[in-house]
């Protein structure tokens, strides 16, 4: 029972991370395409400035949960996916540095370098997280010694790349909506146009990914044996359609909430389809790591559950307050502030 609870928490925390940091990734990827003037670029930086580091807390939490609750899965995952995870780490470091260093020197070339760094530091994790999770869904080629039988290009297979494109599209729509919330004038118009056009692309990719998953993964096995679970992909589809409706109605907060629900339930769709597997082997299914054969002791899981039940609500309350505090649009007063980016 504890293993099942922690498995669901593990998937939920990853979903929350992608839901929150997803719009940061989307904004960073959008930067060179929708922002022309320095002011527009600064609006994008400040649209995520008060939130991005708090959103990263959920990534640390997801990694911490994997390490503490499922140590064997953590060890094998970080061994077999060492290269892409290291690339993600370096990209996140570059992204963080871009916030701090961009305005240190009044040089266009200096600012352009950090703008490019923000793009790379946003696009790389978005793509590789999708590639990693898609490969987990279809199985990772590791042997009985937990040695990865492949390289980075093994992971860049058609299904893995499709998962990466899906994540990028999800985050682009999410970020475009957030930019529409936080901006006005010409940038607001461009943000809405980007959200609308990318949504159509996202819809196509999502349909193709769901169809491809039927042939490339065993995800639907749990759903076919327990049809009630189909409520998850149904919610995902309805949330995706609601996102487009709210964009059309200029109800961007509602669109962002619907987009958040789309991301969250899309991640949970894959996680629930995996259960009880956490890290399946494509070489031999008997080698797969599950919520039961890779978990910590019951005592550890009990102690951690108590800590999570106390600390996570505190984090949620704090972040809710932060989002409320900085919910307004980016205006001239904010851009002229010493605390702005």
pLDDT of residue 327: 80
3-class secondary-structure state, position 148 = strand
Could you identify the residue written with the tokens 């259960």?
Answer: 275
Q: Global pTM?
A: 0.94
Distance CA 39, CA 319 (A): 27
Task: Report the alpha-carbon distance of residue 176 to residue 29 in Å, rounded.
Answer: 10
The token duo for 126 is 């978005």
Task: Please report the pLDDT score of residue 335 as a whole number.
Answer: 77
Containing 298, the helix (H) or strand (E) segment is helix 298-325
pLDDT at res. 54: 85
pLDDT at residue 255, rounded to an integer: 97
Domain residue extents for the chain: 2-336
- How is residue 162 written in tokens? 């499709």
Distances (CA, A) of 54 to 59, 96, 266, 322: 10, 12, 22, 9
Tell me if residue 291 falls in helix, strand or coil: coil
Rounded to 10 deg, the angle between the 252-274 and 158-182 helix axes is 160
- Which segments of 149-196 are extended strands (E)? none
Please state, in angstroms and rounded to a whole number, the distance separating the CA atoms of residues 91 and 126: 10
> What are the per-10-residue average pLDDT scores of the chain (341 residues)?
91 94 95 91 90 88 90 91 92 93 88 94 96 94 88 91 97 96 93 95 95 93 93 95 96 96 95 93 88 90 89 88 85 74 77
């Amino acid at each position: 029972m504890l293993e099942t609870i922690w498995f669901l928490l593990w998937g939920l925390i990853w979903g929350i991370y992608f839901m929150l940091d997803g719009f940061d990734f989307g904004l960073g990827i959008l930067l060179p395409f929708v922002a022309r003037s320095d002011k527009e670029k600064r609006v994008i930086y400040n649209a995520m400035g008060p939130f991005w580091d708090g959103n990263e807390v959920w990534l640390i939490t997801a990694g911490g949960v994997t390490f503490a609750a499922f140590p064997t899965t953590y060890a094998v995952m970080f061994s077999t996916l060492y290269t892409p995870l290291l690339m993600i780490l370096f990209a996140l470091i570059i992204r963080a540095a871009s916030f701090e260093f961009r305005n240190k020197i009044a040089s266009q070339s200096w600012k352009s370098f950090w703008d490019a760094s923000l793009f790379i530091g946003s696009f790389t994790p978005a793509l590789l997280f999708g590639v990693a999770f898609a490969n987990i869904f279809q199985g990772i080629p590791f042997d009985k010694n937990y040695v990865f039988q492949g390289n980075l290009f093994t992971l860049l297979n058609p299904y893995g790349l499709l998962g990466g494109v899906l994540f990028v599209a999800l985050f682009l729509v999410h970020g475009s909506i957030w930019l529409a919330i936080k901006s006005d004038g010409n940038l607001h118009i461009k943000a809405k146009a980007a959200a609308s056009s990318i949504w159509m692309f996202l819809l196509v990719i999502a349909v193709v990914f769901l169809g491809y998953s039927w042939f490339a993964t065993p995800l639907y096995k749990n759903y076919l044996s327990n049809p009630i679970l189909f409520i998850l992909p149904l919610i995902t589809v309805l949330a995706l359609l609601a996102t487009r409706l709210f964009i059309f109605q200029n109800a961007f907060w509602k669109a962002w909430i619907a987009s958040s629900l789309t991301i969250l339930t899309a991640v949970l769709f894959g996680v629930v389809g995996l259960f009880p597997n956490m890290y399946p082997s494509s070489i031999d299914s008997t080698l797969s790591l599950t919520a039961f054969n890779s978990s910590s002791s019951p005592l550890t899981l009990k102690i951690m559950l108590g800590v999570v039940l106390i600390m996570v609500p505190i984090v949620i309350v704090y972040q809710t307050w932060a989002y409320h505090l900085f919910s307004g649009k980016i205006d001239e007063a904010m851009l002229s502030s010493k605390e702005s980016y």
